Amino acid sequence: MTVRTEERRYGKKMVVVEGFEGGTDLDSLASELKSTLGTGGTVKEGHIELQGDHEERVRELLKANGYSVR
């Protein structure tokens, strides 16, 4: 799985988490990440988008939950 930061309109940062193995419940994982980070986000086309510049924190949270992050 990969975690990267994109810059969207008006200079807003968005963290994109993609490359999940089959069987991962993206909706519940996204919900957990959003509530832990206190930010908004969505699940689109097999990836999670989180609002804000939280890339390092997202990597730490995913590793703590047993995911392999590149």
CATH superfamily of 2-64: SUI1-like domain (3.30.780.10)
Q: Which residue ranges make up each domain of the chain?
A: 2-64
Shortest CA distance to 20 belongs to which of 3, 38, 41, 32? Answer: 3
Q: What is the pLDDT of residues 5-38, one digit of tens each?
A: 999 999 999 999 999 887 889 999 999 999 999 9
Query: Over 80: is that where the pLDDT of 48 sits?
Result: yes
Percent with pLDDT over 70 in the chain: 100
Q: What is the pTM of this model?
A: 0.92
Question: Alpha helix locations (H) across the chain?
Answer: 26-37, 55-64
- Residue 34 CA to residue 23 CA, distance in Å, equals 20
